[in-house]
Amino acid sequence: MRIIAFVILCSFAAITAAQEAAQEKMDTQKIYNYRPVDERYATGGQPTEEQLKAAAAEGYRTVINLATIDPRYSLKDEGASVAALGMKYHHIPVPWDRPSEADFAAFEQAMQAAGEGKTLVHCAANFRATAFYSLYAMKHLGWSRTRAEEFRASIWRGSDFPVWEDFIRRTQSTIDEK
């Protein structure tokens, strides 16, 4: 009887461990402040090494990083990690206190270079990424200002970053003029 009870207890423990492992399986949706755009694009905060592996497994072909290098949140060598997973990597370090038209132009080039594959755009917390993606979508994908603002608001709502608000308004005005 004790042997049967022991076997049942061990079986239960093994099933529980397998269920916990399955729940902990990493995927891109667990990236900090992850926001899917559509089947090709997503934005997010800084992914972990495991989340980059998940991105590759989910079919992402390009990673665009808009964060500056900061040991508090940056991966040791994200470019090498992404390349080892068979994805293209573009690093455009956009300074938080002074986003520029040149940064946005570099982002546009990286998005064009990404081609038809799935693309993950990220920064430290998804502020830069949602701002740049919404501006790109206005300029190149036909998004209205309202749609762009709604997408950005999912991250930016309640924040107060005048330098960024000014940059976004200026860039939107330039886009509207064309």
Residue 20, pLDDT score: 39
Residue 1, pLDDT score: 52
Residue 9: inside a domain: no
**Residue 40 φ/ψ region, left for φ over 0, alpha for ψ in the -120 to 50 degree band, beta for the rest:** alpha
Residue 3, pLDDT score: 53
Residue 6, pLDDT score: 36
Residue 12: inside a domain: no
> Are the CB atoms for 15 and 80 separated by under 8 Å?
no
Residue 106: inside a domain: yes
Residue 177, pLDDT score: 86
From first to last of its 178 residues, the chain has per-residue pLDDT tens of 545 433 343 344 444 444 333 334 569 999 999 999 999 999 999 999 999 999 999 999 999 999 999 988 899 999 999 999 999 999 999 999 999 999 999 999 999 999 999 999 999 999 999 999 999 999 999 999 999 999 999 999 988 999 999 999 999 999 998 7
> Are the CB atoms for 38 and 114 separated by under 8 Å?
no
| Tokens (6 digits) for 67 | 């964060």
Cα distance from N-terminal residue to C-terminal residue, the chain: 81
Residue 71, pLDDT score: 86
Sign of CA dihedral 31, 46, 72, 136: negative
Tokens 């934005």 found at? 43
Residue 127: inside a domain: yes
Which residues are CB-contacts of 28 (< 8 A; sequence separation ≥ 6)? 34, 42, 44, 47, 51, 54, 55, 58, 60, 120
Q: d(Cα 48, Cα 9) in Å, to the nearest integer?
A: 35
Residue 101: inside a domain: yes
**Domain range for 141:** 26-177
For strands 35-36 and 60-65, give the pairing.
Answer: unpaired
For residue 127, the domain's CATH number is: 3.90.190.10
Residue 170: inside a domain: yes
Whole-model pTM: value is 0.85
Residue 50: inside a domain: yes
Give the strands of the sheet with 60-65, arranged side by side: 35-36, 41-44, 118-122, 60-65, 88-91
| Number of domains making up the chain | 1
Residue 110, pLDDT score: 98
Residue 140: inside a domain: yes
